[in-house]
Amino acid sequence: MTMTDTAPRAARTGLTRKTLGAWAIRLGALAMFAAILIYFAATARGFANPYNIMNVVEQSAILGLLAFGMSVVLIGGGSEVQTGGIDLSLAANTGLCAAVFANLSQGGTPEAVAIAAALATGMAIGLLNAIAVVRLHILPLLATLAVMNIAAGLELTVTQNTVISVSSPFLMGLAMGSFLGISSLAWVFIVFSALMVWGVHFSRMGLRLYAVGGHREAARASGLNVDRYVTGTYVFAGLCAGLASVLIVARLSSSTPGTGQLLLSVLAASLLGTVFSRRFIPTMGGTILSVLFIGFLANGFQLSGVSSYWVNGVQGALILLVVAVTSFARPSEG
């Protein structure tokens, strides 16, 4: 056997091991998800109750919208955490949008105008991220960290670090209404999830977005406007922040400081979603599973009487584990 025969065989063996390792990670993640559900169903009273399950879906609506926005940024910018796409400002942006919406609504602005202002605010912060990343060529990790502080400062300026209470028939219907036995917030999550699955996995734009994030130079050589697609991901994430802010105000009947604390959950859901894909890149199905996993995890801890602080610790551990494991198991490019 010559050295020229040995090299390809070694390469194939390494690739086979990577493939088997990837399958093991995905199956292990699904098994862990199922095991945790079974454990809580057996130990936490009321966990498996259909009402509780629907309650978790309802509570996952806000996290789901934000996780979809983060996942789109990861897809378009590349899922390498250090140099790829990421939006650390997403949670702070949501808080700012909620403050704008609540402040305008409390001041007597028509509700449709207040909602439009919240969405425009979110998209403007997203555009600021895009300018910093695409035009100024600042690493997304640093650029969005800076914008996060800008958004947080603006939120405090708008709210004066106080709770802005607001109520209306629309918000009450969104928070308390139901259709076919399913709450309005749960319907928002279900419908938005279906739209995201279609838009990312079955539309031409979604396929091109994967090309931009996975093979940027090849996408540019094929004629795709890479900068426009990356800019679009940050603006879309800002739109998701605006939509989520309306749900937050509806659920809490106010704009409440501290929305930035959602960032850890959003990152955990988006990064954990990569584990369920073949090439360890975000998918909408993976994001949905991750959002529900985090929702059931928090719910199970709550029903078991475990402190909510443990949820944050588990989410942080999941982020470290996912980044480490996917960095090892992701197939080498080229």
The CA-CA-CA angle for residues 311, 78, 90, to 5°, reads 45
Give which of 227, 104, 89 is closest to 149, Cα–Cα: 89
Burial group, residue 180, by CB count within 10 angstroms (0-12, 13-18, 19+): exposed
- Domain membership of residue 211 (yes or no) is yes
- Is residue 334, in this structure, part of any structural domain at all? no
Which domain covers residue 279, as residue numbers? 59-329
Quick: pLDDT tens for 210-220. Answer: 999 888 888 88
Q: Looking at the predicted structure, is the pLDDT value of residue 233 above 90?
A: yes
**Structural domain includes residue 178:** yes
Query: Is residue 279, in this structure, part of any structural domain at all?
Result: yes
In a domain, 307, yes or no: yes
In degrees, rounded to 5, the angle at the alpha carbon of residue 259 between the alpha carbons of residues 254 and 263 is 155
How confident is the model over 70-107, as pLDDT tens digits? 999 999 987 666 667 899 999 999 999 999 999 998 88
Query: Tell me, what's the pLDDT at 171?
Result: 87
Look at residue 327 and tell me whether its pLDDT is greater than 70: no
Write the pLDDT tens digit of every residue in 246-292.
999 998 888 877 787 888 889 888 888 887 776 778 889 889 988 99
Q: Residue 263: inside a domain, yes or no?
A: yes
Calculate the average pLDDT of the chain.
Answer: 85
* Residue 41 maps to a domain: no
pLDDT for the residue numbered 17: 59
- The more confident residue out of 331 and 157 is 157
- What average pLDDT does range 197-219 have in this prediction? 90
**Which tens digits make up the pLDDT trace of 144-194?**
999 999 999 999 998 888 888 888 888 888 888 888 888 899 999 999 999
- Does some domain include residue 208? yes
pLDDT of residue 18: 58
Strand partners of residue 255: 164
Own/partner pairs, 303-307, CB within 8 angstroms, 24+ separation? 303/40, 303/44, 303/45, 303/46, 303/47, 303/52, 304/40, 304/43, 304/44
Looking up residue 254, the CATH number of its domain turns out to be 1.10.3470
Q: What percent of the chain has pLDDT over 90?
A: 40
In this predicted model, which residue has the larger pLDDT, 25 or 188?
A: 188
Residue 333 has pLDDT above 60, yes or no: no
pLDDT at 79: 63
Q: For the residues 228-242, what does the mean pLDDT come to? A: 96
Q: Measured between alpha carbons, how far is 126 from 123 in angstroms, rounded to an integer?
A: 5
Structural domain total, the chain: 1
